Structure 1
Amino acid sequence: MARGTRTNLATLAGVVGDNSPVDRPAVGGAPTNVPLSELAPNPRNPRDDLGDLSDLVSITGTQLQPALVVTRDAYLRLYPEDETKIGLARWVVINGCRRLAAAENFGRPNLDTVVKDEVAKDRMTLLAAAVIENVGRRDFDVIEEAKAVELLIGECGTVEMAAMKLAKSKGWISQRRALLNLAPELQAALRNGELAVRTARSLAQVPPEAQVQVWAAEQERGHKKPEPDPAPEPENREPTRTPVTAAKVTRSFRRMEADPVTIADALVDYLDADGLQTLIQALTDRH
């Protein structure tokens, strides 16, 4: 299937849930032990970097989960331009590229695999299989996720279909895609753990040329020494409080150009459990 070609919902339903080629083994498909020389990693793996493989050092003795592979012919029907990348390999690893790399790195000569050519029925299904394996993993950072999601949308043709393939909400898809609007410096900070995802989502709403300055200003505010506590007021005097009105809160959100997801995050941070219940009831009453 060509990039961007749409698949109707009936076709899509046949490869998700109980019928998913990713979620269950093929009927009668028993793991087969294959020499590493006959395996090639997926050239379309959405990961930029396989990361630290030390957590897979035990693969030299035990492989807990077989790698999912497709035959050379099935893969090349979708990506004939990748023939030089897979060399003479008989199978292409779709799920299990880290296991393959760990086996090569730590001296295991072979890998247990399960062949599922139905995963290579079209580009959308193959890419979704590779993305599903990685999304949510601790070592798969959110920028990699965002890039992978963007690739999948390109294959699916619509956000709705990509969300269905990943079993994610459209809101989750939109949040990940927004991170690609971050300046390169902020993307690097996010990947290094210096920038929180929640803050990154807010910064993604700022014009790119101003994002770094806004983040620097927020960091500076966070490092300022706290003001000394004011002198206590007399016990018989009520503390002065500035009344908060809905109009003031609305103006604050407008100044920040806050989107609904960011507003929801802020309210979850601000309110306790009882406050959230009261908020939900208030919104219900006004609906």
Structure 2
Amino acid sequence: MSKADQLGAGRFGGGVRSVSARRQAVAAATGVPTEGVAPPAELPVHRISLNPDNPRSALGDLTDLAGSLKTHGQKQAITVMNRDAYVKANPDREADLEPDTTHVVIDGSSRLAAAREAALPTIKVMVSDDQGTTSEELLESALVANIHRQDLQELDEARALQRLLAIHGSQRALAKRLHRSQGWVSQRLALLNLTPELQARIGEEPIDLLRAVGNKPADQQEAALRELKAEKARKEEKSRIPSNTGTQPTTGTAASPEDDHDGDYDVITDPVSDTAPREHEAAEPATAPEEPAVAGHRTAPEPAAVEHEPPATETGKDTPSVPVQATATTTAVDMGEQPKRFPYEDGVYAAQHLIHKMPPEEFDKMLDLLIKHRDSRTVRTG
């Protein structure tokens, strides 16, 4: 009686799977047994091929990772496929696999390479032939694993997303497939529109600023980046200077980025107190301002117990008639400062402000709505 008959059915599938002719040939050539062997918990590192379709363009310096594996051991298994299953899904890559290997890594190329560098004899693996039946599905499996760990270089991530975009057809469909927002996808793809010079500076320049200028014409990207960096530096410098709440700003001057109070915009038409309604300024007449900020607005009776600062205006400009944006704490008007107008006339400036100040979930909602609006406008004009 064989050992398999004595032990009975295995835990993972109720029986021993048949072995393909390819694996039999590999077993004969390498001496690695296959028949009647359950998926291994460990494999010799030299029997696992690196993935020729790894989303990473380079593995980088593995010295620290190799040292950690050698000193502290491996904490997480890598995911591999049987070689024949990989070749069936991706036949064009068979020649690129390392010779005399029985498996191909799908998730864990860096750990595998570091284990080799550390001269470890074996590595913990999870064998899963369900990673995909096509080359596109294999790429998606590898990409999703790296996305969840935030483990890809920005440009590698963008290139992999571009390949998946060609498969899924639209950013919306791709975002749904990856369980991300459409804004998340579009921001990362924007890096592919950068000039080669700016792409070479990824890692040196702030990635959020590079993504912000990625959708501008190539000849404007460098200037737009300089402008955003200067604005960011001004904001950081201002945040280091204590605010003097007792100093009144000079009136009659247009608001500039340097006047930004704590980096926030107060989009207002009339000054309001902290007790004024946040949604509809006309809800409580008793909290209306003493004087209107825009000619033609009605003036409500002055409340007996509430005092207001004079309305803030800009020389030669009417304050735009837009809803009040009150803050949870004291606003610029309450502190006697010139409220800063939202930069409607500067799309890059407005977008950068929202990227920095808006909660990510609300930003993605806004971005999806703007894209829908742009698409519908294109259909109408087309």
Q: What TM-score does the superposition give when structure 1 sets the normalisation length?
A: 0.69
| Equivalent-residue separation in structure 2 for 1:102 and 1:238 (angstroms) | 60
| Structure 1 residues 83-136: Cα deviation after superposition (integer angstroms, max 9, x where no partner) | 121133211100010111001111112211111111122333321211122226
| Equivalent-residue separation in structure 2 for 1:161 and 1:83 (angstroms) | 30
Q: Which residue pairs with 1:197 in the alignment?
A: 207
Q: Which residue pairs with 2:48 in the alignment?
A: 39
Range 56-65 or range 200-209, more displaced = 56-65
CA-CA distance at 1:31 after TM superposition: 5.2
| Equivalent-residue separation in structure 2 for 1:56 and 1:27 (angstroms) | 35
% same residue: 31
- Alignment equivalent of 1:66, drawn from 58, 74, 77: 77
Q: Which runs of 5+ in 1 are unaligned?
A: 1-25, 227-234, 270-275, 281-287
| Structure 1 residues 221-255: Cα deviation after superposition (integer angstroms, max 9, x where no partner) | 7789x9xxxxxxxx8x87315426337957x4344
User: Superposition pairs for residues 1-287 of structure 1, below 5 Å?
Assistant: 32-53=41-62, 54-60=64-70, 62-88=73-99, 89-135=101-147, 137=149, 140-190=152-202, 192=203, 194-216=204-226, 239-242=250-253, 243=313, 245-246=319-320, 252-256=343-347, 262=352, 264-265=354-355, 267-268=357-358
When residues 255 and 43 of structure 1 are mapped into structure 2, their CA distance, relative to the original with a 3 A threshold, is same
Q: Which runs of 5+ in 2 are unaligned?
A: 1-11, 15-37, 238-246, 254-312, 322-339, 367-382
CA-CA distance at 1:175 after TM superposition: 0.8
CA-CA distance at 1:186 after TM superposition: 1.3
| Structure 1 residues 9-61: Cα deviation after superposition (integer angstroms, max 9, x where no partner) | xxxxxxxxxxxxxxxxx889875211122111111111112123213422235
| Equivalent-residue separation in structure 2 for 1:238 and 1:105 (angstroms) | 63
| Equivalent-residue separation in structure 1 for 2:168 and 2:231 (angstroms) | 43
What letter matches 1:135 in structure 2? I
| Equivalent-residue separation in structure 2 for 1:30 and 1:98 (angstroms) | 22
Range 93-102 or range 130-139, more displaced = 130-139
CA-CA distance at 1:74 after TM superposition: 1.3
| Equivalent-residue separation in structure 2 for 1:238 and 1:135 (angstroms) | 47
Range 158-167 or range 31-40, more displaced = 158-167
What secondary structure, in the 3-state scheme, does the structure 2 residue paired with 1:253 have? Answer: coil
| Structure 1 residues 67-88: Cα deviation after superposition (integer angstroms, max 9, x where no partner) | 1111111111222121121133
What letter matches 2:167 in structure 1? E
| Equivalent-residue separation in structure 2 for 1:265 and 1:185 (angstroms) | 24
Higher RCO (C-alpha 8 Å, min separation 6): 1
When residues 254 and 141 of structure 1 are mapped into structure 2, their CA distance, relative to the original with a 3 A threshold, is farther
What letter matches 1:246 in structure 2? P
| Equivalent-residue separation in structure 2 for 1:219 and 1:262 (angstroms) | 11
CA-CA distance at 1:138 after TM superposition: 5.7
CA-CA distance at 1:215 after TM superposition: 2.8
When residues 155 and 185 of structure 1 are mapped into structure 2, their CA distance, relative to the original with a 3 A threshold, is same
What letter matches 2:193 in structure 1? N
Is the 1:69–1:114 contact (alpha carbons within 8 Å) kept by the matching residues of 2? yes
When residues 78 and 181 of structure 1 are mapped into structure 2, their CA distance, relative to the original with a 3 A threshold, is same
| Structure 1 residues 256-282: Cα deviation after superposition (integer angstroms, max 9, x where no partner) | 3568x645225449xxxxxx9xxx9xx
What secondary structure, in the 3-state scheme, does the structure 1 residue paired with 2:123 have? Answer: strand
| Equivalent-residue separation in structure 2 for 1:183 and 1:174 (angstroms) | 17
What letter matches 2:146 in structure 1? N
When residues 238 and 112 of structure 1 are mapped into structure 2, their CA distance, relative to the original with a 3 A threshold, is closer
What secondary structure, in the 3-state scheme, does the structure 1 residue paired with 2:344 have? Answer: helix
Q: From the two aligned structures, give the one with the greater helix fraction.
A: 1
Instruction: Count how many residue pairs are aligned between Structure 1 and Structure 2.
Output: 236
CA-CA distance at 1:220 after TM superposition: 6.6
